[in-house]
Amino acid sequence: MDAPDLTELINTEQSKLSADQQHDVEAVYQQLKQIARVQRFKISNHGLNTTSLVNEAWLKTHSGNKTFNDRRHFFAYCALAMRHILLDQARRNKLLTYVDDERTLDGQPVYRQSDFLLDLERQLVRLGAYSKRLEQIFTMKFYGEMTFDDIADYLDVSRRTVVRDWKKAQAMLSVALGAPDR
């Protein structure tokens, strides 16, 4: 399916789609599910399962009168949505730890990963104040699993610029979070 077809499907009310079109939308949903599954490995113990994360992101894309210019715009929006969903969950988990330090989700303490996500978000906001593009690239790559080519097309810059900025964002965040450079 090419980008204009995908954009049209995403922007069309689901009840007006043919069976083949609904199948294509299901393929997009499955791709989002794959991205959400990767988030579970990157950010463990956040309290959401893969289906919950992708469903919340999917609902955010369909709330209001959102329209997407192309496939890259849609997935960039989903990356940002997943970032916000995980951050909201981390905030809820953090509140739980203040109420009861013994509380667990899926058998794991909630505060460790919540602290990391909250620290990461603080540093992403600071990174965005320094360079909005670095923040966008990090969000699209880390949370959205977008390819460097898709990010470059979306931001209308070269692939080389995206790769350079990705490395720069990683290094800056690594230093800010006190982690050793990778």
Mean of per-residue pLDDT scores for the chain: 77
pLDDT of residue 2: 45
d(CA 128, CA 56): 24
Question: Higher-confidence residue: 179 or 83?
Answer: 83
CB atoms within 10 A of CB 36: 26
- Asked whether 97 and 114 are in contact (CB, 8 A), the reply is yes
> How does pLDDT run across 44-71, given as a tens digit for each residue?
555 667 777 788 887 787 776 777 778 8
d(CA 116, CA 120): 6
**Number of alpha helices (DSSP H) and beta strands (DSSP E) in the chain:** 8, 2
% of the chain with per-residue pLDDT over 70: 70
> How does pLDDT run across 106-140, given as a tens digit for each residue?
554 444 556 777 888 889 999 999 999 999 999 99
What is the rounded average pLDDT of the residues 74-92?
A: 83
Examine the pLDDT at 102 and tell me if it is beyond 60: no
The two most distant CA atoms of the chain are separated, in Å, by: 51
What is the rounded average pLDDT of the residues 161-178?
A: 93
d(CA 169, CA 176): 10
What band does 158 get if pLDDT is binned at 50, 70 and 90?
very high
User: Domain coordinates of the chain in residue numbers?
Assistant: 3-177
pLDDT of residue 170: 92
Residue the block writes with tokens 């990010």: 151
